[in-house]
Structure 1
Amino acid sequence: MFDESSSTYGHRRIKKALNKKGIKTSNNRVRRIMHENGLISVLKTRYKATTNSNHSYPVAPNLLTQDFSAETVNQKWVGDITYISPQEG
C-alpha cells in the first residue's frame, strides 16, 4: 500500500485504507510498523509560480534574439541577475 502510493501515504492514510478493507488497526500501530521498516512518507509539493509576467515595469529588449553563437571571444556576454532583490520588496 505504501509503495502503491509512491511513498506519499503516511500512517493516517494507511490506517484509513486498512480500515476500509476491514482491517482494524490504530494510528500508533501503523506508525510503529512504518518506523520499524524505515518507511518515511514523502510530501509532494505543488508547483508555485514565482514569475508574474503581467506587470507595467519596462522589459529589456532582446538584442541577441536567441542567437548566442559568437564569431570572436568576448563578442556577446549574457548574465542572470534574478537573485538580486529589488528595493521595493
Structure 2
Amino acid sequence: MNVQTDETLQMRYDTETQTLVITTPKGLSIALNDATGSITLEHSPHTKLTLNDKGICLEGDSIEIHAIAELSLKTSGLMRLNGAMITLN
C-alpha cells in the first residue's frame, strides 16, 4: 500500500519487511517495523532515534541532553564512557 499527497508526503507499507514508513516532504521519517518490533524516527541520515527490544539507540553527529533541575543516569549493569576526551565537572 502506498499513499502520496500532492506535497509528496508519503506513507508506504512493505509487506516483505512488515514496515510502515511515513516520510514528509523535507525527508523526516518514522518507520514502524512489526517484524522486529522497532520504531525509528529519522531527521537526516546522521540523526536517528531507534526503539527496539534491545533498548533505545540515539545516533547523531552531536547529541546534547539538557535538564533544568536534575538528570539521573542509572544502570543495574556496566556503565561505559568512551571518547577521545571526557570532561567531568
- Greater RCO structure (CA 8 Å; 6+ sep): 1
Higher Rg of the two aligned structures? 1
Q: Same fold (TM over 0.5)?
A: no
Q: Return the TM-score normalized by structure 1.
A: 0.17
Choose between structure 1 and 2: higher helix proportion.
1
